[in-house]
Amino acid sequence: MGMSFDRYMRDMVQPMRDELTELGIRELKTPEEVEEVLPTAKGTTLVVVNSVCGCAAGQARPGVAHALQHEVKPDHLCTVFAGQDKEATAKAREYFAPYPPSSPSIALLKDGELVHFIERHQVENRSAEEIAADLTDAFDRYCR
């Protein structure tokens, strides 16, 4: 009769993925891809935990896009998609301790160690501009 649920969900979330990949952010879809990048990346790595929720659409993704216009940026840009690439997201979250899982969220790592983290509750209650300012402050502190 129709399309499978998995296919439907993939098609539905593709534009949400594209918002980040069009910025040059690399999708990590498997735990192996996460392990290939996060523990060995030299310098700074931004990891966006993407989500289908409204605060990801209205604040997190636009905030990241705005922050990446800043002259100082992380060396590496990655994303995992919560609820879609579940194993990759779980593996990435291992690097975000002591923070509990939340999505959307945004992590900044330096040489594989977490140095800055924006949790969902910090996304929900702020504008995209405020999130961008938070990120650019972290970029200035850790990415020079």
Active-site residue set: 53, 55
d(CA 98, CA 92): 13
